[in-house]
Amino acid sequence: MTHWTVTTLRIGELYLQHGGAIVRDPVHVWLVRGGVAGKAVNLLVDSGMADIPTVHQRLKVKGWGGGHAALTAALGQEGLGPQDIDYVVCTHLHFDHADNLDLFPEACVVVQRAELMAAVDPVPSQRIFYWKSTLRNLIERKRPAQLRLVEGDTDLLPGIRLLSVPSHTEGMQVVVVTTEKGRVALVSDLGDHYRYWYPADPRATDHPLRSLSDAFLTGNIRSESERVWQAAMRRVLDNADIVVPAHDFRIPLRMPEQWFAIPDSTDGDLAHVPPADDEN
């Protein structure tokens, strides 16, 4: 059995307007390293957002980082370049998860067929989140080795399983990685903070919601009903040992070394981070 390691790469932040305040959303991609049949294999889960000037121009959202420079620098800190990535698995095709694909012309991009359709013909509320740059990058991948469209749950490689979980988007997928401690679910925006997964747990949220014991919080940006979304989150927990939400500051940077199921405290959750100095 192949055991993989997962490294979180923080490539930037988005400063989202929330009432009168700014909520900081870190933007991550995950480097998954292991081997198959004696050969080293590197996967990237998501490819992150465009550079902040571009994001600001299109969405009027500020922040820092993003783009080829931030992603290349983050890979460089792990001793890798874009050419060393064998697979890029897109959890979904929103702008903060699936830009920069042109950095990896030789890698195989893996995405649910339903998500590509969603990007071509989005539900109306999500049109602004699917960018033409992502679509263009995908359509230019004509060789089979450059693009793999999957349908439903898929065993991509030994120890790398894709769970199809329509919820946030129509073709959302969660990547479950087997490490030596257990199975890590890179859940992306199926529940992008711990409080969505553990709404009644005081370690996950300042405002435990006992009424939601044994259930989940679901997000506002959604393509499916709450019932479908709840079932998707339950299925992920049933098929994994820990979850790693996409936009929580508290997620472990190195797994399995910094393995945890729920953080020890809410310190570092978005709500606790003061508005950043506005330098951008």
Q: In the stretch 152-191, what mask flags binding to Zn ion with x, by CB under 5 A?
A: -------------------------------------x--
Q: In the stretch 187-206, what mask flags binding to Zn ion with x, by CB under 5 A?
A: --x-----------------
Q: Of the two residues 112 and 178, which places its CB atom closer to Zn ion in the complex?
A: 112
Spatial distance between the Cα atoms of 135 and 119, rounded to a whole number of angstroms: 7
With 0-12 / 13-18 / 19 or more C-beta atoms within 10 angstroms meaning exposed / middle / buried, residue 203 is middle
Q: Of the two residues 51 and 96, which places its CB atom closer to Zn ion in the complex?
A: 96
Structure token pair of residue 170: 């129509």
Q: Of the two residues 80 and 123, which places its CB atom closer to Zn ion in the complex?
A: 123
Q: Give 22's strand partners.
A: 17
Size of the site for Zn ion (CB under 5 A): 2
Residue 145 CB, nearest approach to Zn ion (Å): 28
Residue 189 CB, nearest approach to Zn ion (Å): 4
CB 232 within 8 A of CB 166: yes
Q: In the stretch 80-119, what mask flags binding to Zn ion with x, by CB under 5 A?
A: ----------------x-----------------------
| DSSP annotation string for 116-169 | HHHHHS--GGGGGGS-HHHHHHHHT--SGGGEEEE-SSEEEETTEEEEE--SSS
Q: Of the two residues 96 and 248, which places its CB atom closer to Zn ion in the complex?
A: 96
Contacts of 30 (CB under 8 A, 6+ apart): 6, 7, 8, 9, 44, 45, 46, 175, 186, 244
Residue 27 CB, nearest approach to Zn ion (Å): 7
Q: Of the two residues 189 and 224, which places its CB atom closer to Zn ion in the complex?
A: 189
Residue 220 CB, nearest approach to Zn ion (Å): 12
Q: Of the two residues 157 and 221, which places its CB atom closer to Zn ion in the complex?
A: 221
Residue 49 CB, nearest approach to Zn ion (Å): 9
Q: Of the two residues 137 and 178, which places its CB atom closer to Zn ion in the complex?
A: 137
Q: Residue 233: phi, psi to the nearest 5?
A: -65, -40
Residue 58 CB, nearest approach to Zn ion (Å): 15
Which amino acid, residue 271? Answer: A
Our CA angle for 65, 77, 103, nearest 5°, is 60
Residue 193 CB, nearest approach to Zn ion (Å): 11
Q: Of the two residues 115 and 189, which places its CB atom closer to Zn ion in the complex?
A: 189
Our CA angle for 67, 157, 243, nearest 5°, is 65
Spatial distance between the Cα atoms of 27 and 151, rounded to a whole number of angstroms: 26
Q: In the stretch 220-259, what mask flags binding to Zn ion with x, by CB under 5 A?
A: ----------------------------------------
Chain length of the chain: 280
Residue 96 CB, nearest approach to Zn ion (Å): 5
Query: What residue ranges bind Zn ion (CB under 5 A)?
Result: 96, 189
